[in-house]
Structure 1
């Protein structure tokens, strides 16, 4: 049996925390559920996390099959995933990612606006936002999908290593669930300035991790050449 690589737990924790960005997603969830009753907020929080978990599990075990069907090597995907994560890191550092998330949230609210409501209160309080935009693409977005596939390739067929990867992913999704459930008091505590600062720091960390993915992919491809 291959050795257990406990570093996968730390690496997956850091990577998923950065690419999913619970602190950055929480304000979007707050804006989409603003004014709704507590039961609806709890239901949307649980459903969005569950759906994103299913999506990521699907890509974890079906992603390699898809690559083989497309005749794409894991090293090529590793390098391409690194480039994708690096671009995501740049967006986080320069706040482009937050702007796009806010634009998606505003667009969703405009599309679901009730023209008969003139009270100024949030409209259609019972609208289901769990699948879109929360689960996809907020939680199980391109960065998270690329990350789970990359880490599963690193874990290989070792079930313990795969379990460490899923543990890292699960912990971060659990953090998202907790933040969603506590989003109101949390946003008052953190504030916009602190949230923006944390996002930039996470972007720098993600850039370093992305560069490592790129280097590993290129090295693997050269060894096979």
Structure 2
């Protein structure tokens, strides 16, 4: 796979899993009643923190796996199953309980640091995003590919930033039903990615067992 192809491959995976457009409804709900400047500040802080968290695991994922004694294939299976559960909820246009529960959203109304939880994490950077960042880095064959993953991550969260800053306008243009349709579509793509991840992990575990 050439450089452009690998960048597109990495970006699509990250963008579908981060899925900033599906977090718009939650963002609008949590920031209801705030001024425009306050909403923009929360958007900038939350997206920046989410990017930093994802970047942290992208660089330290290998070390963490080694410390915990977790194989990449095991992570693929576990992460893939988790993503499949998230995708199932998305195809039904629901907020995934694997990322955040209704009780946690209700509790967030009373918090002043909603830009940290639940917006930055787990809405923008959840277990699925962390798993994908680690898997992409671990499977990158050359340094150039790792650099392309970082660029894909930057582009993903840049789009997330724009999406959140203009969340009200996007919601007004698309409407609630339009947002739900897009959420279901992203859920379908995410389901396909998760199945591929689980299959790859199971195959890798099978090969490693046969080599013993």
TM over 0.5: yes
- Match runs of 1:165-204 below 5 Å: 165-204=149-188
Go from structure 1 to structure 2 and tell me whether the alpha carbon gap of 1:105 and 1:198 turns closer, same or farther (over 3 Å shift).
same
Distance 1:7 1:174, change over 3 A: same
Whether contact under 8 Å (2:79, 2:127) holds in the other structure is no
Closer, same or farther: CA 192–98 of 1 in aligned 2, 3 Å: farther
Structure 1 residue 47 displacement after superposition: 0.8
RMSD value over aligned CA atoms?
Answer: 2.0
How do 1:87-126 residues align onto structure 2 when only pairs under 5 Å count? Answer: 87-97=85-95, 103=102, 104-109=104-109, 111-112=110-111
For structure 1, which runs of at least 5 residues remain unmatched after alignment? 113-126
| Alpha-carbon distance between aligned partners in 1 of 2:114 and 2:7, rounded to the nearest angstrom | 30
TM-score by length of 2: 0.88
Partners of 2:83 and 2:7 in 1: CA distance: 19
Alpha-carbon displacement from aligned partner over 1:39-95 (angstroms, at most 9, x marks no partner): 222211111111111111111121221111121111111222222211211111123
Q: TM-score, normalised by structure 1?
A: 0.83
User: Any idea what the Cα deviations from partners look like across 1:16-50, whole Å, max 9, x if unmatched?
Assistant: 22222211111222222222222222211111111
Q: 1:153 to 1:5 in 2, by over 3 A?
A: farther
Q: What residue in structure 1 maps to residue 17 of structure 2? A: 19
Shift of 1:7: 3.4
Provide the residue aligned with 1:118 in structure 2.
Answer: none
Larger radius of gyration: 1
Distance (whole Å) between structure 1 residues aligned to residue 77 and residue 3 of structure 2 = 21
- Whole-angstrom distance in 2 between the partners of 1:26 and 1:165: 24
Alignment size in residue pairs:
207
Residues 2-151 of structure 1 aligned to structure 2 (within 5 Å): 6-97=4-95, 103=102, 104-109=104-109, 111-112=110-111, 127-151=112-136
